[in-house]
Structure 1
Amino acid sequence: MPKSLPAIRVSGRHRKTKTPSPSLRRAALIALTAPVAGTILAGPSAFAAEKAVAKAAALDPAEQKIADNLNTRAQDTRLGNRLSGVVIDAESGNTVWGHDATTALMPASNTKLATATAALKVLGPGHRFTTKVVYGVGTLTLVGGGDRTLTTDDLAALARTAVAGLRNAGLTSVKVRVDDSLFPSPTLAAGWNTGYYPDSIAPVRALVVDGRHVMDTALDAGQSFAELLAGQGITVTGSVTRGVAGSGDVPVARHQSDRLSVIVKHMLKVSDNDIAETLLRTTALTAGRPATFEGGTAVVREVLTRYGVSLDNFVIHDGSGLSRANRIPARTLADILDVAADPRHSNTLKYVVDGLPVAGEAGSTLGPEWGRFDTADSRCAVGQVKAKTGTLTGAIGLSGLTKAKDGRWKIFSFIENDSTAAPGAVKDALDGLAATVNGCWA
């Protein structure tokens, strides 16, 4: 049986009604310099353990204006007839606006918010992935540890250390083998099709170099390793093979990745599908489940439940959001972000919020190279909105947070399915909704 996850001591959506003292009203800073000069996004104003119970409450004038404008702008024909949306106040938990908020739609890469939350909780922000080289019976085995960030330079460093060891032992030739047995053989998730390989995603294996999109990333990495050995005067005999390192094999070299917190932020910024699926499998293994889509998504559900996130109408089959069978309501996505932004969980989950692309941030999925936040309606929100994007044929999402005109942080999620408008036009409309929440498009 899978071992249970560590207890998560949270109150979820159940907030106290007690009014916090002024000394507790210190904002939790989200450490991010926005892409516009001099702009820094501060974190959601909140108190360590003093949030009010989420309830129906009168909206302040700024919130009422948000709600009124969204009621109108959600009718934009570019958004079609299937929109799930919600805006909540991060401090009080009150719902500012909702439109079919509990209707589950295809979330695309907004799924990565759930994957990142589970990975950070189960693995811990300081987790590092280890790639090893071991030697036994005339063979060097490159052992994959699920590091999707391994580079040729890292592999070269492993080769140099291995060569030094071989020469010290008086060896000049060796066979090369790869061991990617940490994960089972790749399969398609429910809702995937073979057309995803190897463009949108490579088959999920525990060994890859330079994030290459090839059908067998492990053998590809092994061949690169063999070439690096040969370049240093070692004769590699035979072809690179696949196998499992022996229990008596001697450790020769190892490389450790950057911290998980850094990897998660990168994964969210650029919406890296390969990293997301690797995280899903490693999370499953650490929680005592099989390193499969089913094992990983089961752990995601367990973690979200323990954080008090409702899983009503929540269906996921992968970690990246490529599955066309995934269904998540906007309310659930907003609640995941609400938990991540809560200072009570900042030691573990703040990296989810830190990793959200910023409107106008070059190199992220909200950058100008993707045509985001560049219309007359949304340009005013550049540097003021942080949000995870999501795009599949027939599904576009935007879930994040922004500081509204009342000085309070609002968390939002907008998921659109089946619009007949061009994808770029739908994205422009969603960017406008985010600018509306910010209040700069009044």
Structure 2
Amino acid sequence: MTPAARRAVMFAAAAPVAGTILTGPSAFAAEKDTAKTYGTTLDPADQKIADNLNTRVQDPRLGTTLSGVVIDSESDKVIWGHDAATALMPASNTKLATATAALTVLGPDHKFTTKVVYGDGTLTLVGGGDRTLTSADLDALAKTAADGLKSAGLTSVKVRIDDSLFPEPTAATGWKPDYYPDTVAPVRPLVVDGHGVNDTSLDAGQVFSQRLTDQGITVNGDVTRGASGPGDVPVAQHTSASLSTIVEHMLTVSDSNTAETLLRMTALGAGRQATFEDGVAVVKEVLSQNYGVSLENFQMHDGSGLSRDTRIPAQTLADILDLTTDPRYSPTLSSIKDGLPVAGDDNGTLGPSSGRFDTPDSKCAVGKVMAKTGTLTGAIALSGFTKAEDGRWKVFSFIENGSTAATDDTRDAMDGLAATVNGCWA
């Protein structure tokens, strides 16, 4: 291995993230995991993987800028590396870092709460960072609130939304102006049915208002925005599914909006402001202080990976995934592995409808590879797991930047690398 591809291990002090009680291990507990073994003799099966990868990364469809690594999960032996410490634009593979921090700070059983409070003739819908809120949930909130109003002899009310939990949304560093609102909506703590609109809070308030009308309550005037008062009385609330369930879905379908919401809620959970900057700071603290993951060459600017200024080495992504296989960490982080798309499964981003694992070289790996995808213009990444021919789990991460080949062609080549690790493409 060249020096540039060697693992740079950071052992940070095991101080907890401010404002939280973390269940994750200290960097010292993680020392064995982060100290990958380089330069050791490979057994014949692993040597075959390494030799084949050395040949196949020269595929012109992958361009000339690639960071990649393969690790044996049980022994932490590095089987193969190619500029593994070189930081490249990882696209949606960034979500792996976001998920790790969210699960560590908030806990896998954490749930998000959306509330309705009443005061001064006004019902206020209070956003609590639940990106999975549905119109059916708002319907239930409206029915409970309407029943309470009617029992108090009230038949009319004003409606307000309170989305003060997050600061005024701004685009992250490296976001393109045309991202809004289809690729990602301005980050607010209140949204319904995942609507891709510029003001998701006001949109949710309008849906809630209509549901109140359907329940026989007259809504006076338009929906307004404002903070709920200290004397407002709680009248209804909805709690989300557990964070582990939300993380699984986010990774499977690569939901950028959920990732951005989780980044902000993680910042709040750590006692910081709900901003891009503070969310990223918490991610970095969790990775380095709780798990001993090196942050050398690590640059992150949002939770989803849409930022074109984010740079993460393949080695770092592989190290993050490797944590999920450790019995000490799996109670906290197992939903990351569970949420990875499976090759050939259209429930995620590696299915036939996405044109993945459907070539003669890679289709043999259908059902055998689970990996997080990532695609931006000029950047394609694939990081995950596969059980190789020796029966041992391998962790891999491949990131390419700047290929001039068609996106589908580069993805096909990347799928072939994963099939090589599996060993079915011998």
Smaller-chain TM-score range? Answer: over 0.9
Residues in 2 aligned to 1:405 and 1:273: alpha-carbon distance in whole angstroms: 34
* Runs (5+) with no aligned partner, structure 2: 1-16
Residues in 2 aligned to 1:3 and 1:258: alpha-carbon distance in whole angstroms: 24
Map of 1:111-260 to 2, 5 A cutoff?
Answer: 111-260=94-243
Residues in 1 aligned to 2:95 and 2:266: alpha-carbon distance in whole angstroms: 13
Percent of aligned positions with the same letter in both sequences?
A: 69
Residues in 2 aligned to 1:220 and 1:98: alpha-carbon distance in whole angstroms: 48
Residues in 2 aligned to 1:104 and 1:160: alpha-carbon distance in whole angstroms: 51
Greater CA deviation, 103-112 or 2-11? 2-11
- Cα distance change, pair 210–182 in 1 and its aligned pair in 2 (3 A): same
- Work out which of the residue numbers 342, 363, 368 in structure 2 matches 1:379: 363
Compute the displacement of 1:348 (Å): 0.2
Checking the alignment, whether the CA contact within 8 Å between 2:26 and 2:292 is kept in structure 1 is no
Checking the alignment, whether the CA contact within 8 Å between 2:69 and 2:78 is kept in structure 1 is yes
Q: Which residue of 1 aligns with 2:329?
A: 345
Checking the alignment, whether the CA contact within 8 Å between 1:52 and 1:92 is kept in structure 2 is no
Residues in 2 aligned to 1:2 and 1:242: alpha-carbon distance in whole angstroms: 31
- Work out which of the residue numbers 319, 326, 344 in structure 2 matches 1:335: 319
Matched residue of 1:424: which SS?
helix
Q: Which residue of 1 aligns with 2:349?
A: 365
Checking the alignment, whether the CA contact within 8 Å between 2:72 and 2:395 is kept in structure 1 is yes
Residues in 2 aligned to 1:3 and 1:294: alpha-carbon distance in whole angstroms: 17
Q: Which amino acid aligns with 1:290?
A: Q
Q: Which amino acid aligns with 1:272?
A: D
| TM-score normalised by the chain length of structure 2 | 0.94
Residues in 1 aligned to 2:247 and 2:322: alpha-carbon distance in whole angstroms: 18
Map of 1:79-98 to 2, 5 A cutoff?
Answer: 79-98=62-81
Map of 1:23-62 to 2, 5 A cutoff?
Answer: 54-62=37-45
Map of 1:252-401 to 2, 5 A cutoff?
Answer: 252-306=235-289, 307-401=291-385
| TM-score normalised by the chain length of structure 1 | 0.90
Answering whether residue 31 of structure 2 is matched by residue 14 of structure 1, we say yes
- Cα distance change, pair 341–165 in 1 and its aligned pair in 2 (3 A): same
Q: Which amino acid aligns with 1:420?
A: T
Q: Which amino acid aligns with 1:80?
A: G
Stretches of 4+ aligned residues off by more than 6 angstroms = none
Matched residue of 1:351: which SS?
helix
Q: Which amino acid aligns with 1:322?
A: L
Residues in 1 aligned to 2:70 and 2:36: alpha-carbon distance in whole angstroms: 16
- Cα distance change, pair 368–121 in 1 and its aligned pair in 2 (3 A): same
Q: Which residue of 1 aligns with 2:412?
A: 428
- Work out which of the residue numbers 41, 65, 76 in structure 1 matches 2:48: 65
Residues in 2 aligned to 1:268 and 1:2: alpha-carbon distance in whole angstroms: 27
Residues in 1 aligned to 2:39 and 2:153: alpha-carbon distance in whole angstroms: 76
Q: Which residue of 1 aligns with 2:4?
A: none
- Cα distance change, pair 90–293 in 1 and its aligned pair in 2 (3 A): same
Greater CA deviation, 72-81 or 224-233? 224-233
Residues in 2 aligned to 1:55 and 1:71: alpha-carbon distance in whole angstroms: 16
Answering whether residue 10 of structure 2 is matched by residue 3 of structure 1, we say no
Compute the displacement of 1:9 (Å): 3.5
Checking the alignment, whether the CA contact within 8 Å between 2:36 and 2:78 is kept in structure 1 is no
Greater CA deviation, 7-16 or 66-75? 7-16
Greater CA deviation, 169-178 or 188-197? 188-197
Compute the displacement of 1:13 (Å): 5.8
* Runs (5+) with no aligned partner, structure 1: 17-50
